[in-house]
Structure 1
């Protein structure tokens, strides 16, 4: 096998409730408590959407990958895009053959006896259509790029399949001029993430034959924004020995929420404008490990089924964090090994012998109030005389960002220190 490599780069950016005022949302419109409603009517009417076929498997992969990160992330924030990582490796399977391809699909949970290739490809193709919907109120984009060189030309049929199924751009690059190639790829990622993720690629070698890039960018506004004037400095208890000061946001409003006595956690769903919401999971003291082990589709169904719309006093910290992961090592722990070795069969890309030398995922999360000073003046809240329950996220918590139509987990993570960066 020649010593030429494919590098896989994954970039995820999530700006939640970025500080810009969007008019027309002045608080809760309904003061009554009622059961949680379906996110969208179309979701109920379209149970046979292709993307829903892959949704449960995608959720399983999200939590499986999360658990690979936990052992090396004690006391650290966790944040990544499951849908971004799975989409990137599906792109790899378009050029993989035999045992290499089968191992990747199996590691991601796509059992070929349960879901065939057409269902898999149709599901991801439709998922990208849903997520890249320009008519949704959420600014969301996900896509892929394949940077290749004339020395190792990519087969035309693979180029066409990558473009048709996964919206992949195919870009010519010259890896013999490493500095220019790095600049080109970083410029592409910076543009696709609206300037928020820069210098993702730190270095390549002249032996690089191909670079695969996946990016996901999300900018969303709370359906009911927090009032910046209510934000105060408060203590956040990182662990038994460490306390940090954070900007704690505050809102008295109606949210879908549930207290899980069995697992020992509070779950609050905070909706965005559009077809997505954030699920904030607050374990009781000493229960983080227990909740993390229970994370899975069954837990999500349970929380969704038991959650009710109730008025609460919600306190959430502003969050700003960045993460970086060696996806290659995570996948090897999930028994995906061959694609990283000399036994890799990636001849669907090019006739030359190649293997993946590096797979890196970087993500960035910002959570803010969604309000300027002018917006604060328009936020009018009416509260009942009785004091609602307080749920204060002043210790480590979990976060899941879910798109409703596809039921895709866009981002998942754990916030241990909101001010880590």
Structure 2
């Protein structure tokens, strides 16, 4: 898509800004004017993960464009700092979503793409100023991190690769109202750091056609896994900008499960409730560790090429009326997660692994969660400052939505979240048996950067 900056002149009253991130993930930001802001929607496919993000922003006026040179790519330390920040934010949001998942059964499942949410918000951060920028940076754990957007530029390179048996792809795009006056610096930075070029569309006169065009791009980027990201009514004649981020992942297990040994089994939701599942089985050498204090087994399942892995954290047993996840989730921190999954604390052992087929599709409205994490002014008209987008303090985020999907089977995954003592099991007469036949936590990691792409809790089939 070509950059269409020259046509963005003129002024417009109360236009919404939409930020979209499909992962097989999507994000959408829409500005709601005097009327209201709409929510976006996305889908993801089997053996896959995906996510969507929508934020609505309202604008009252625009200003003249300016331009500036982007900084050079950051050193690896900057990318490491952003990766750490993203992991901390991922755990914050995971706990917030987990706490909000009331009840039991399917309602307790959690799945989202922290990479999708973080990247979308980082793009929005480029246009934030003053207190709004400070709140966003702190909530994203990016305060004090130098060259944030340059680091994201490097991460995008790590996220985009194809190796034998796996595909990982992240793409960004801007859809802007033709004739609207976006700041040139914002457009240039979006293109340089996030490879998000601008396409001019006619929201004012043909918003339905614009919506379909955006959905078609998202569907193409996610191999058809996310369809109709933008529901009817999400964009309207007041929409001025839609920022889209799509992430797609499809990977085959390095050690595939044999479908012939998959059997019917029971998944213990709690001590009193069970549901039928298809339980896969594999005896192979995996990186393994055991967190003694929490009584949790951790297994890393690499995908072909070993660029990405799924890591599962399985409590040994359900305790009383709990699932064993409560203590584990409360102990999850950047430090503990690193300790538990670092190479020096994991041993290559022959593990008998029992893992269910599972498929999750979750939708979230993130407004309240993000506000509780510290982004209060972002959603408050009159307080939000996104003048880095259009030169005026008339934009605010009115709605943030996120949708994610994952499916795991014998072949692999397709995806379009106080430190305990660790006992390293470096040798054993008999290999450990890990039965994921009760609630567990899992995440998909890009190994070269350590970035958590997808994070979830599987509590019920």
TM-score, structure 1 as length reference: 0.83
Q: How does 1:155-194 map to 2 (within 5 A)?
A: 155-176=183-204, 177-194=206-223
The superposition leaves residues 53-109 of structure 1 with CA deviations (integer Å, 9 ceiling, x where unpaired) of 322211111101111111221332111111111111111111122221221111101
- Asked if residue 9 in structure 1 is aligned to residue 52 in structure 2, the reply is no
Q: 1:61 & 1:95 partners in 2: Cα distance?
A: 20
Q: 2:258 & 2:268 partners in 1: Cα distance?
A: 23
Match of 1:140 in 2: 168
- Asked if residue 220 in structure 1 is aligned to residue 251 in structure 2, the reply is yes
2:118 is paired with a residue of what secondary structure? helix
Count of residues in correspondence between the two structures: 372
Over 3 Å counting, the alpha-carbon distance change for 1:12 and 1:365 in structure 2 is same
Check whether the contact 1:396–1:417 (CA below 8 A) recurs between aligned residues. yes
Q: CA deviation at 1:17?
A: 5.8
Q: 2:165 & 2:191 partners in 1: Cα distance?
A: 26
The superposition leaves residues 106-145 of structure 1 with CA deviations (integer Å, 9 ceiling, x where unpaired) of 1101122xx22x2x12211100011113457530111222
Match of 1:64 in 2: 92
Q: How does 1:399-410 map to 2 (within 5 A)?
A: 399-410=442-453
Over 3 Å counting, the alpha-carbon distance change for 1:333 and 1:317 in structure 2 is same
- Structure 1, unmatched stretches of 5+, are 19-46, 372-385
Check whether the contact 2:445–2:454 (CA below 8 A) recurs between aligned residues. yes
Match of 1:298 in 2: 335
Q: CA deviation at 1:387?
A: 5.8
2:19 is paired with a residue of what secondary structure? strand
1:12 is paired with a residue of what secondary structure? coil
1:354 is paired with a residue of what secondary structure? coil
- Structure 2, unmatched stretches of 5+, are 1-11, 25-43, 49-74, 413-428
Q: How does 1:343-354 map to 2 (within 5 A)?
A: 343-352=383-392, 353-354=394-395
Of 282, 285, 298, the match for 1:254 = 285
Q: 1:361 & 1:136 partners in 2: Cα distance?
A: 30
Q: 2:363 & 2:45 partners in 1: Cα distance?
A: 17
Match of 1:43 in 2: none
The superposition leaves residues 369-395 of structure 1 with CA deviations (integer Å, 9 ceiling, x where unpaired) of 118xxxxxxxxxxxxxx8643211111
Q: 2:76 & 2:216 partners in 1: Cα distance?
A: 39
Q: How does 1:203-282 map to 2 (within 5 A)?
A: 203-204=233-234, 205-274=236-305, 275-282=307-314
The superposition leaves residues 262-306 of structure 1 with CA deviations (integer Å, 9 ceiling, x where unpaired) of 012111111111211111011231321110011122222221242
Check whether the contact 1:7–1:358 (CA below 8 A) recurs between aligned residues. no
Of 187, 208, 228, the match for 1:199 = 228
Q: Which has the higher contact order (CA 8 A, sep 6+)?
A: 1
Q: 1:299 & 1:317 partners in 2: Cα distance?
A: 26
Regions of 4+ moved over 6 Å = none
Q: 1:301 & 1:211 partners in 2: Cα distance?
A: 36
Q: How does 1:273-352 map to 2 (within 5 A)?
A: 273-274=304-305, 275-283=307-315, 284-285=317-318, 286=322, 287-303=324-340, 304=342, 305-342=344-381, 343-352=383-392
Check whether the contact 2:46–2:359 (CA below 8 A) recurs between aligned residues. no
Check whether the contact 1:6–1:358 (CA below 8 A) recurs between aligned residues. no
Check whether the contact 1:9–1:361 (CA below 8 A) recurs between aligned residues. no
- Asked if residue 83 in structure 1 is aligned to residue 115 in structure 2, the reply is yes
Check whether the contact 2:219–2:225 (CA below 8 A) recurs between aligned residues. yes
Check whether the contact 2:300–2:310 (CA below 8 A) recurs between aligned residues. yes
Check whether the contact 1:8–1:360 (CA below 8 A) recurs between aligned residues. no
